Amino acid sequence: MTANDRWEPVQRLRTYEQVMAQIEQRILDGRLKAGDHLPSERELAVSLGVSRPSLRESLRVLEALGVVEIRRGGEGGAVLVQTPGSGMVNLLKLQIALSQFSWTDVLETRLALETWSVEEAAYRSTEDDHRELAAILDRMDDPSIDAPEFNSLDAAFHMRIAESTGNALTAHFMGSLRTAIHRQMVEMYAELEDWRRTATTVRREHREILDLIVRKDGKTAARAVHAHISDFYKIGAIDGVDAPG
Ligand SMILES: [Zn+2]
């Protein structure tokens, strides 16, 4: 072996990684914050010493990641995003589709997030939250409702509970996870022999969970949502939890 064999190639960061690192540094040291406009494409390309096409490509990557929003027109340009968008959902959807995470991973993560959310919601939620949660359940009671609509409202109910904890990250993460598995959930409902019978059980369990939240019985509410979610997986999956739900 010659000395040359021990040389490691220099790791070359891609342009977008360098642009991202510089933006991150500026956010950390307070020179940039959410809502700020980045300099114009022309200025930024010169400052960073990159070509305009490769800067544009970097900005598109940052846009897909939900870091910047590219606005067109007069006040156009790249703006640092304040509220979380669909970046995480889109990524998670593909990762789940690629089976990078198993359904058991999804179920266990959901159970952890949902039981925490329901218990905290019992202590932190307001009367407005209760009213809005009840309104979602009222809409789910509509006898003419179809399976996809029922499923969307089901997701909305669980999301709204997470939001009422006041923890935006948990709510966002739960929403992303739920949106990512939405298609599979709808398919699973469609495969149920009698989805309306399942829907009756789901309705009753939701009312019970909401009632426990209103009564501030966090521990019982957490147990109820745990049973609600794991039962649904058991109904939908013949072989344990190895199926969407
Ligand atoms: Zn539910």
Distance 156 CA to ligand 1 centre (A): 9
Distance 167 CA to ligand 1 centre (A): 20
Beta bridge mates, 71: 77
29 occurs within a structural domain: yes
8 Å CB contact between 207 and 199: no
**CA 60 – CA 57 distance, rounded (Å):** 5
Domain shared by 107 and 226, yes or no: yes
Please report the pLDDT score of residue 31 as a whole number: 93
Distance 201 CA to ligand 1 centre (A): 10
Q: Which domain holds residue 57?
A: 15-80
**For residue 146, how many other CB atoms are within 10 A of its CB?**
11
Domain ends where: 49, 80, 111? Answer: 80
Confidence label for 235 from pLDDT (cuts 50, 70 and 90): low
Percent of the chain beyond pLDDT 90?
Answer: 41
Number of domains the chain is built from: 2
Domain shared by 130 and 50, yes or no: no
Domain ends where: 52, 80, 108? Answer: 80
Domain shared by 126 and 217, yes or no: yes
Domain ends where: 38, 63, 80? Answer: 80
**CA 146 – CA 153 distance, rounded (Å):** 11
Of 151, 213, 158, nearest in space to 182 by CA: 151
Distance 187 CA to ligand 1 centre (A): 16
4 occurs within a structural domain: no
Q: CATH code at 63?
A: 1.10.10.10
Distance 91 CA to ligand 1 centre (A): 24
Distance 95 CA to ligand 1 centre (A): 23
For 123-136, write each residue's pLDDT tens digit. 999 999 999 999 99
Segment 30-59 mean pLDDT: 90
245 occurs within a structural domain: no
Q: CATH code at 234?
A: 1.20.120.530
Question: Taking 60 as the threshold, does the pLDDT of residue 245 lie above it?
Answer: no
176 occurs within a structural domain: yes
Tell me which range, 73-87, 154-168, 186-200, is most confidently predicted by mean pLDDT: 154-168
Question: Taking 70 as the threshold, does the pLDDT of residue 210 lie above it?
Answer: yes
Please report the pLDDT score of residue 1 as a whole number: 55
Distance 8 CA to ligand 1 centre (A): 53
Domain shared by 70 and 106, yes or no: no
Domain shared by 136 and 203, yes or no: yes
Domain shared by 50 and 171, yes or no: no
Distance 59 CA to ligand 1 centre (A): 38
Q: What is the CA radius of gyration of the chain?
A: 23
Domain shared by 130 and 221, yes or no: yes
Domain shared by 118 and 20, yes or no: no
Domain shared by 75 and 93, yes or no: no
2 occurs within a structural domain: no
Domain shared by 202 and 94, yes or no: yes
Question: Taking 90 as the threshold, does the pLDDT of residue 148 lie above it?
Answer: no
Distance 115 CA to ligand 1 centre (A): 12
Domain shared by 148 and 219, yes or no: yes
Distance 149 CA to ligand 1 centre (A): 13
3 occurs within a structural domain: no
Domain shared by 173 and 118, yes or no: yes
144 occurs within a structural domain: yes
Distance 129 CA to ligand 1 centre (A): 17
Q: Which residues surround ligand 1, an ion (CB under 5 A)?
A: 154
